[in-house]
Structure 1
Amino acid sequence: MTKLGRLYSLFDSVELPENLPYTQCSTWELEFLYLLGRHHLTGQGRIVELGSGGGGSTYALALGLSESPVFDTRKGRLHAYDFFRVGKGTFASEKFFDSGHKPADDNSFLDDFKRRLGPFLPFLEIHAGDLWQTSDPEDTTPVEFLHIDIAKTARVFRCVSERFLSRMQVGTVVLHQDFAGPRLPWLHHSTGALLPYIEIAGPPIRSTLAFEVTKPIPADVLKRITEDDYTVDEKLTLISAVQDRIDRDHTDGIPFKSVLELSKAYVAHYDGQHRRAWSLAKPLQSDAYLSRTRADHFEQLKKAYAKEPSFLDKLVRRTVGR
């Protein structure tokens, strides 16, 4: 069992406050964040949360850090990154406001976030805005912990990789909160590329995959991940390697092998190979979990496939010069 894996046995010992700030994380994910702060992290490297949202996950992690026997709240810092506003491209919910909806004249919930995290503000460093603007490209400080709940687009993942994953070292802990998202295949094939240098903690905690770096990661591996320097076939192979390591989540509710198979379809889809994407996705419609929770994914892939010209159509167009 990995060092992180030992935290699974402590779930039943956690009693989080009932009035935690609103979050889209599950109770298990919040408890794991608390356990990491309380029993694992030291503050000797950067402790970073990318995508703090309404503050529930930040609160759970900060509470654990505040009760840790080794984390010094006078010197250590928890870095919280987010747009802290709703609007196009932020993937934020109006539930992040105390009122539950956006005020007419303000789309920022930063003040609400600060009120909710009040007890921990002395050691909380908030970075509000676009990650490309709020992260420092010159910062090479080792990262001890990285909670990634912000990489909803390839553009943002490139920033995450370039400015945070590049600072991983042996002992770094990473949590991918969106690992159950088939539309985010960069999380999956990048993890496949890292497999020789990490230990997966155990079954995913609901939608979160946790791992710890156990061997130095070569610079060229990190560079390829950042530059998305893999062919479609290479990405599919990397995702298959992850499928060999994980099955269902620890509650037995999410079938990750199927989720990752649908992620492969999105690798092809984003590359414009819509026929191939649908050939990968179509058989998965019989999966009970995916058919119930990802019907819109199948519709998107099927629609793109239907619009793609057939081989004969392409041949005719080339022949007539159109």
Structure 2
Amino acid sequence: MTNIGRLYSLLDDVRLPDALPYSQVSTWELRFLYLLGRHHLTGEDRLVELGSGGGGSTYALALGLRESPVFDERRGRLHAYDFFRVGKGTFATEKFFASGSKPAEDDSFLDDFRGRLEPFLPFLEIHAGDLWKTSDPGDTSPVEFLHIDIAKTPRVFRCVTERFLSRLRPGSVVLHQDFAGPRLPWLHHSTGALLPYIEIAGPPIRSTLAFEVVRPIPEDVLKSLAEDTCSVDEKLALISAVQERIDRDHTGGIPFKSVLEFSKAYVAHYAGDHRRAWSLAEPLIDDAYLSRTRADHFEQLRTAYDEDRAKNGGGGSRLSRLVGKALGR
């Protein structure tokens, strides 16, 4: 068991404040962030949250740090990165505003974030804007903790890899918050590439996979991830390796083997091989979890497949009866 794996037994006993800022992550994930701050992290190296949103996850982690017997608020710093605004490409919600909706002609919720995190501002450093602009390419200082809830596109994931994963050292802790997202396969095949150098803490905590670095990560591995040099087949094999390590999340609700199989379909989809993507996705339609939560994913892949067939003279209907059933039509 990893050091952070021991925190699982404490999850049921955590009681967070009722007035925690709005967050899109589950209560279980917030509890785990609190436990990391309270019982594991030291702040001797960088503590980084990529994608702070409305502040719920930041608050839970900062509260744990404040109650830690080893974290020194005078020297330790928690770095919070986000656009801190709503709009195209930000993946933010208007619920991040204190009022619950965007004020007229103001798309920034940065002031709301600061207000919610006011108790922790003495040791909180806020970096607002595009990650490529707010992160320092020359900063090589070690990262003790990295919470990734921002890598929604390959462009951003490249920045995460080049400027943050490259600074991990043995003992560093990483949380991938979007690990239950089939549309983000770079999270999955990159984890497969890192398996020789990490230890997975335990079952995913709802959508979050936690792992600890146990060996130095070679530069050529990080370069390959940043430049996306693996072939489709190599990426599928890397995801298969992750499937061998994890099954359901710790509550039993998310079937990660199926989620990761669906992720493989998106590897092919993004590579333009829509026939292969649909051949990987179609057998998963009968999966109860995926059919209930990812119906739009099936529709997207089937539509791309049908359009590809039509473009290449294959004809075919827009949506098969099978997909229609899965979508409740």
Q: Distance in 2 between matches of 1:264 and 1:45?
A: 35
Secondary structure of 2:144's match?
strand
Are 1:37 and 2:16 an aligned pair? no
Deviations 1:170-224 (A, max 9, x none): 0010000000000000000000000000000000000000000001111111110
Q: Which residue does 2:267 correspond to in 1?
A: 267
Q: Which residue does 2:183 correspond to in 1?
A: 183
Going from structure 1 to structure 2, the CA distance change for 1:312 and 1:154 (only over 3 Å counts) comes to closer
Secondary structure of 1:171's match?
strand
Are 1:128 and 2:128 an aligned pair? yes
Secondary structure of 1:286's match?
coil
Q: Distance in 1 between matches of 2:268 and 2:22?
A: 35
Query: What is the deviation of 1:105?
Result: 1.9
Deviations 1:83-107 (A, max 9, x none): 0000000000000000000000210
Query: What is the deviation of 1:311?
Result: 10
Alignment size in residue pairs? 314
Q: Distance in 2 between matches of 1:270 and 1:220?
A: 24
Q: Which residue does 1:251 correspond to in 2?
A: 251
The AA in structure 1 aligned to 2:220 is D
Identity of aligned residues (%): 80
Q: Distance in 2 between matches of 1:12 and 1:256?
A: 22
Q: Which residue does 2:5 correspond to in 1?
A: 5
What are the equivalent positions in structure 2 for 1:55-204 lying under 5 Å apart? 55-204=55-204
Deviations 1:257-313 (A, max 9, x none): 000000000000000000000000000000000000000000000000001137974
Q: Distance in 2 between matches of 1:105 and 1:191?
A: 40
Q: Distance in 1 between matches of 2:291 and 2:8?
A: 29
Q: Distance in 2 between matches of 1:156 and 1:111?
A: 24
Q: Distance in 2 between matches of 1:12 and 1:87?
A: 37
Query: What is the deviation of 1:12?
Result: 2.1
The AA in structure 2 aligned to 1:144 is E
Q: Distance in 1 between matches of 2:14 and 2:209?
A: 20
Going from structure 1 to structure 2, the CA distance change for 1:231 and 1:111 (only over 3 Å counts) comes to same
The AA in structure 1 aligned to 2:164 is F
Q: After alignment, is 184-193 or 220-229 more displaced?
A: 220-229
The AA in structure 1 aligned to 2:308 is E
Q: Which residue does 2:307 correspond to in 1?
A: 307
Are 1:21 and 2:17 an aligned pair? no
Are 1:280 and 2:262 an aligned pair? no
Are 1:52 and 2:62 an aligned pair? no
Give every structure 1 segment of 4 or more consecutive aligned residues whose post-TM-superposition deviation is greater than 6 Å.
Answer: none
Q: Distance in 2 between matches of 1:3 and 1:237?
A: 28
Query: What is the deviation of 1:120?
Result: 0.0
TM-score (norm 2): 0.94
Going from structure 1 to structure 2, the CA distance change for 1:219 and 1:18 (only over 3 Å counts) comes to same
Query: What is the deviation of 1:237?
Result: 0.1
Q: Distance in 1 between matches of 2:296 and 2:311?
A: 27
The AA in structure 2 aligned to 1:145 is F
The AA in structure 2 aligned to 1:92 is A
Deviations 1:86-131 (A, max 9, x none): 0000000000000000000210000000000000000000000000
Q: Distance in 2 between matches of 1:312 and 1:107?
A: 43
Q: Which residue does 2:323 correspond to in 1?
A: none
Deviations 1:115-174 (A, max 9, x none): 000000000000000000000000000000000000000110000001000111100100
Deviations 1:214-273 (A, max 9, x none): 011111111101111100000000000000000000000000000000000000000000
Secondary structure of 2:146's match?
strand
Query: What is the deviation of 1:2?
Result: 1.4
Q: Distance in 2 between matches of 1:192 and 1:203?
A: 16
